[in-house]
Each structure stands twice: as structure tokens, then as C-alpha cells.
Amino acid sequence: MHKKGLKDVDVKQKRVLVRVDFNVPLSPDGDILDDFRIKAEIPTINYLRENNAKVILMSHLGRPKGKAVKKLRMDSVAKELSKLLGIPVKKLDDCIGEEVEKAIANADYGDVILLENLRFHRGETENDNEFAKKLSSLADIYVNDAFAAAHRVAASNIGVTAFLPSVAGFLMEKEIIVLSKLLSAPEHPFVGILGGAKVSDKIDVINNLMNTVDEFLIGGGMSFTFLRANGYDIGYSLCEENAISTARQILENAKKKGVKITLPADVLSAPEVKENAPARIVDIEEIPNDGIGVDIGPKTAKIFKKKIQDAKTIVWNGPLGVFEFEAFAKGTYEIARLLGTLKNKTIVAGGGETAATLRKFGVDKQITHVSTGGGAFLKFLEGHSLPAIEAIEDKD
């Protein structure tokens, strides 16, 4: 990796400001529904504590739009983090100001401090220079470990780098290394599994990965736009009418480049997207006029599984059906379960729904890397440079 990492700087007896991404889903009562992103930060935090640094964590949570919103305070995050670390985490009531400065000055080395929600200040999302300067004054070194926010321009991931030595944390470092290899030096055969609702969300990903991928396996709602482009009747299945010509162009480009695109051979069809809706398996030529495709069928799952087993590198983004409903999650589950059993392969998954799927089915620990990024993951695979990564200092 050409960016400086944690081990390239001396953090002992230093105040270290760490940009993390604790933007976690909350229940209406403020309880954390998914601690995946919090757990992902533990290695960086523990390393800093072991090296006797004052650990100052900062993150956003939700979209308070520059105002203090009670339900978006970081208290529940601090409570969860304390539990995971096994130590009390001191959560402050602001992220800048005299009280914050005093709390940090009075903290011991090895302590962990969590600042209040960055987005309670408009200066965060506006990348305000004065706000960035105030954040920077709290520390001696800046660590960016928030890959999920790396595609955003903000004071906490861009502005602060003008005032402090900046390095990547362990999570950011791993994301950069793993995803860069997918784009530059994957082992072949390389298979991309793409699902989710919209083709339009994946156009740039498909076009960029077409330079390295050998085959795409396409399911989910987006597959019906491709099927429609191939002339199939898809009933009331999800279809982006304005993306049909784009899908047709992608199919033509893939053919020219020798990249195979495999679409569903059969689907689970239901008259409506409801948990208890009557559903049946049909070949794609037989989707009823009033039917909606809600999952890949068993023929498709068998085809996909064989191609995945033959691959050396696999990247997955997007569920293959309406996985929120158990009755429509079988195809997604079968692929997730298979990925969790494979050995000696590089398997990378990203996107909020994909990561949630793997965790839901208990196989996230068995694969090479589950990215913490949603938008950042897709932007990286599109081949774009991410501004927050660019802002980290280069190695000499």
C-alpha cells in the first residue's frame, strides 16, 4: 500500500485522533441494531491502547443536518464500545471546545474517548477549515479508519489532514489492499456476483470490472432489466425502463470483451411482494403476466454455485432476491452458505445489504473480507479515487 499506515508513525505517549465510522442502524428506542462497524474498529483501537496513546474517536451518526438531535447522540455507541473493549469509554457532549480539550488533557494514556456526533456541526459536512482546525487541535496524529465514509468530503476526513500527520488505520489499510488487488491482480477465474434492485446503481461497477472479471452472475431485481433487454416477458417484475438500452449495451460490450454474463434460468414468481404471498418456480420463459420475480430459482442457484466453485476470486454485491422476507431469501442464502464453505479462494463482499446477508446467515467470518463500505465500496470498484484516501499521506 502506498499510503502511510499506523505502523509508520510513533503513537506512544501521543494524542491520536481517529476517524471511525460508527454510523450504525438504531432502533426507535436508540438501541444499536447492528454492531458490525463498531467491531471492525477494535484492532485499531487496541493497537493504540497497547502503545499507550490517548485514543480520541470521532464519527457521524445519521443526518442531523448541523443540529444536536437527542436520538442521534453517540451514547449508545459508547455503551456498546465499552462492552466490546471491556473498559469504560468516556463519551463527551461535544466534539470541539474548551470542555472537550479539558477532558482530553485530563485523560490517561491508554484511555478511549468518544467525541459527540460530528454532524451536529455544519462545519463537518461543509469541510469548514475552522472546524477542521479545532478538531485537529485535540491531537498530535490523525488516523483515518473510516473507509465507509471515504467517498465523502468532510472536515473530519479531508480538512484535518492539513493540520496533522495523517495515516490509515488497520481497517482502512485492509480495505485498500484487498480491493486494489481485485482491480489490479486477481487470481483467475474471477467471478462477480451482482444483485440488488437497480442496474443504474451498478453500471460503472460492471464497466470497470469488465476489465478483470471473467464472468458476471446477475440476480436480484436488476436481472429483470437485463432479461427484458434480451426480449423476455417479465410480468410485473422490477424493471428500469430507462436502463434497458444500457443493459443491452453492457451485454454487447461483454460479448466483445469475452466476458460472460449469466442471467437467471428460472425464478421464484409471486403475485405480490409479501411474506405469505403464494409463490412458484417458473422458467424465465414462463413468468406469468401478473407475476413478480422475487428470488432466483433452483436451476439458477445450481448454475451459479458451479461457477462459484470453479472460481479463484469472487466479489459479491447485492442480494439475489427479496431477502428481507424469509420465503424469498433461499437463493441468496444458498449462495452465502456456499461462500462460507469454500477454501483457498479470495472472496470479497461489500454493500450494506450484502454484508447484512452474510451476517444474518452466519458466514461472514468464513470469507476473506466483508467490506464496511456501501457507497465507498462501489466507488472503489468503479475505479474512482476516494477523496479521503487521497488525503492520507503517501509513504516516502
- Which of the residues 19, 37, 54, 119 is marked catalytic? 37
Q: Give the whole-angstrom CA distance, residue 77 versus residue 73.
A: 9
- Which of the residues 66, 110, 340, 375 is marked catalytic? 375
Q: Identify the sign of the CA torsion 296, 299, 305, 311.
A: negative
- 198 catalytic, yes or no? yes
- 152 catalytic, yes or no? no
- Which of the residues 198, 302, 337, 360 is marked catalytic? 198
- Which of the residues 62, 110, 340, 352 is marked catalytic? 352
Q: Which residues are designated catalytic?
A: 37, 198, 352, 375
